[in-house]
Every structure is written in C-alpha cells, then in structure tokens.
Amino acid sequence: MDSNSVLLVPVPALFSFQECIWFLNRNYDDCLHVIEGDVIFKAIEIEGNAILFGVKESGNFLEVEIIMGEAGRKERDYLTAYVREWFDMERNVQPFYDLLIKDQRLAYMADEYKGLRLIGISNLFEAICWCIIGQQINLSFAYKLKRRLVERYGSQIACHGKSYYIFPTAEVLACASVEDLKAMQFSEKKAQYTIGIARAFHEGSLDKDKIASLPDLVSRKKALTDFKGIGVWTANYALMKSLKEPECIPHGDIGLLNALSHHNIISDRKEQPKIDALFSTFVGWQSYLVFYLWRSLAVKELI
C-alpha cells in the first residue's frame, strides 16, 4: 500500500463513525456511496480528477485510502478537508448534548445516538437537486429517481467489477431535456426545476461560495429562494447539509412533524407555538436537533 494513498484523520470527542455509517446505510439504495462492512466507499471529482476512496475507523483516526485516481498533495489535502466536512468533525457538539439532557423527552438521544454527526452533502448543487427530486414522494422512490439521474448523466469509476458514481455536473444537467427526465418518471415541474437550477449553477448565478459569503442566514435563504424550484424547505435543507448552517429548521417537513409528535412535543401538526418553544431552547443547534429528530424515526432493530 502506497503511504501517499492513505490519510489518517484524527477523530474529535463525541464522534462515532459507527453511528454515522449506520445512518448512511438505512436500507435506502443510495447510488453515491457503497458500504461494505465497516468501510464506506465513495467517488468524487477534484478539479476534473476522479477519485475513488474508502473510509474506515482505525483507532482514534479515520483511515482514508485513495483507491483509484491521483494521490498528490493537492488531492490528499482536499480529501482530508472533504471527510472532515462530510462528517462535521470540526464542530464541538458538547453544548448540543448539554441542551439535550436538559429536556426529559429528548435526553435519551445523548446516549443512544452518541457521536452521530450531521452528515453533509458538500456539493450545494447536488443538495438542491436532491430536495427537488424528493418533493412530494416517499424516500424509496426518491432514491430510485436519483439513481436514474446519476446513472444517466453522472460519471463513474469502475473498480473490481463495481461502478462508483459521481453526481452529474451542472454543466451536463443544464443540457438535459425535460422529456428525458420525464422518461425517468420525473414530473414535468421537477424536470424543469432541475434543469433550471443546473443552468443557474453552470452560468454562475448560483454558487456555493457566493452564498456562503453573504452576511447572514436570512440573506442566504433569500439568495436561494429567489430561484424557481427552491422553496423555503429546500433552502433550509440545503443550507443545513451543504453549508452546515446551525440554525435551519425545515418547517412543514413531514418527518420532523412526525418525530415531534412521537416525542409528545405536539399533538397536532398545526401547533406551531409548541414547535417554536422547543427550538427556542436550542438556539445555535436547531439544525442538529432536526437531524437527531429525523434520526429518531429510524429504528436500528428494524434494519
């Protein structure tokens, strides 16, 4: 094994790779990573260079191995930063746990989900497309649509008889036709929105760095919702997952409402004051609370 192809990323306190990898492997057919045992394999593109890498736990480190592609200093530095962002390893989550244990309804999460981090989607374009794909359909069907889109328009790395896919670039999807996406069972609106957003990213009117440079969450949300196909829910989700905004609440999310109901925080989905009261006690950690509430909907014993 070439020492240049292996990176060791120190894990922070309150971090569990097992919790993170379990969350990524919840019986959904995600075409953008492959999990085998305790190793997660993923393909990404670094300045036009396709890289296949694997991540596994190794003592107090995550061991990141570059399996295919360049393994120069630039790629190693990029991958180290990518993995740390993907698993939100830069954040000290102790203050969030301190808030959890103060609420009897939620305190169990600090033990049962200990070390789970807010799993990111580094590519803002991908995060927004995923939101558009998933609108008003169940998760299983959403993953099927994503696979069709990725296999048709994305790039791939073939290794040992398996294909590892990379999400399509905005440039490629900008040239797709509405009819082609409809043939994959996209609704006409979803097809139009996906292509429109792709064109916005390709032309530069939408850009992750530009969004991140805006002064506050309100302006970042507005910059996204100004584009057709991006509603408030999508803006909250994309900012939470891609820019790791700490204060996003995707109000109206069915999963979130179900989780709040299961924890006896609300008895009716219209009880907004009760929802607001809960989140007011988690200022600065609203996104994490949403993520943990989503996590509570999945039961390990059933997987």
| pLDDT tens, position by position, 93-122 | 999 999 999 999 999 999 999 999 999 999
Instruction: Tell whether 78 is covered by a domain.
Output: yes
Q: Predicted confidence band at 3 (pLDDT cuts at 50, 70, 90)?
A: low
SS3 193: helix
Over residues 119-161, the pLDDT tens digits come to: 999 999 999 999 999 998 998 999 999 999 999 999 999 999 9
- Smallest CA-to-CA distance from 29 within 148, 192, 126 is with 148
Stretch 248-262: mean pLDDT: 94
DSSP state letter for 3: G
Distance from C-alpha of 297 to C-alpha of 39, rounded to nearest angstrom: 24
- At 206 the pLDDT is 97
* Other residues' Cβ atoms within 10 Å of the Cβ of residue 4: 13
pLDDT of 302 higher than 70:
no
Residue 140 lies in a domain: no
The verdict on whether 216 is a catalytic residue reads no
Identify the DSSP state of 297. Answer: T
For residue 163, pLDDT beyond 50: yes
Q: Which of 30, 103, 180, 253 is catalytic?
A: 253
pLDDT interval class at 184 (50, 70, 90) = very high
pLDDT at 228 over 70: yes
Query: What is d(CA 121, CA 275) in angstroms, rounded to the nearest whole number?
Result: 26
pLDDT at 1: 54
Q: What is the mean pLDDT of the chain?
A: 95
The residues near 271 (Cβ < 8 Å, ≥ 6 apart) are: none
Number of domains within the chain = 1
Residue 43 maps to a domain: yes
Residue 106 domain-assigned (yes or no) = no
Tens-digit pLDDT profile for residues 202-224: 999 999 999 999 999 999 999 99
Confidence of residue 298 (pLDDT cuts 50, 70, 90): confident
Examine the pLDDT at 44 and tell me if it is beyond 50: yes
CATH number, domain of 57, equals 3.30.310.20
In a domain, 76, yes or no: yes
pTM: 0.94
Does residue 279 belong to any structural domain of this protein?
no
Yes or no: say if 98 and 200 are a contact pair by the CB < 8 Å rule.
no
- Which pLDDT does position 301 carry in this prediction? 36
Per-residue CA distances from 81 to 140, 160, 170 (Å): 30, 27, 22
Q: Provide the domain limits for residue 13.
A: 3-92
Distance (Å, whole) CA 64 – CA 5: 8
Radius of gyration of the chain (CA): 19
What pLDDT, on the 0 to 100 scale, is given for residue 2?
62
Number of other residues whose CB lies within 10 A of the CB of residue 246: 18
Instruction: Please indicate, yes or no, if residue 174 is contained in any of the structural domains.
Output: no
Report the SS3 class of residue 153. Answer: helix
Residue at 169 is within a domain: no
The stretch 43-67 carries a mean pLDDT of 96
Query: pLDDT category, 300, cuts 50, 70, 90?
Result: very low
Q: Position of tokens 């999460």?
A: 109
**Which pLDDT value is given to residue 222?**
97
- Distance from the first to the final alpha carbon of the chain: 34
Q: Which two tokens stand for residue 92?
A: 């000290």
Report pLDDT for 303.
27
pLDDT at 214: 97
